[in-house]
Amino acid sequence: MRHAKSSWDNPALDDHERPLNKRGQSAAPRIGQLIRDEGICPQVVVSSTAVRAESTARIVAQECGFKGEIVFTDDLYLAPPSQYLGIISGLDDTYGTVLLVGHNPGISELVSGICNQPVSMPTAALAVTRTQHETWKGYETEPASELVNFWRPKQLD
Give per-residue pLDDT as tens, 101-127: 999 999 999 999 999 999 999 999 999
Q: Is 71 helix (H, G, I), strand (E, B) or coil?
A: strand
- Domain definitions of the chain by residue range: 16-156
Burial of 142 per CB tally in 10 Å (0-12, 13-18, 19+): exposed
Tens of pLDDT, residue by residue over 55-96, are 999 999 999 999 999 999 999 999 999 999 999 999 999 999
The pTM for the full model equals 0.96
Instruction: Kindly report the CATH number that applies to the domain delimited by 16-156.
Output: 3.40.50.1240
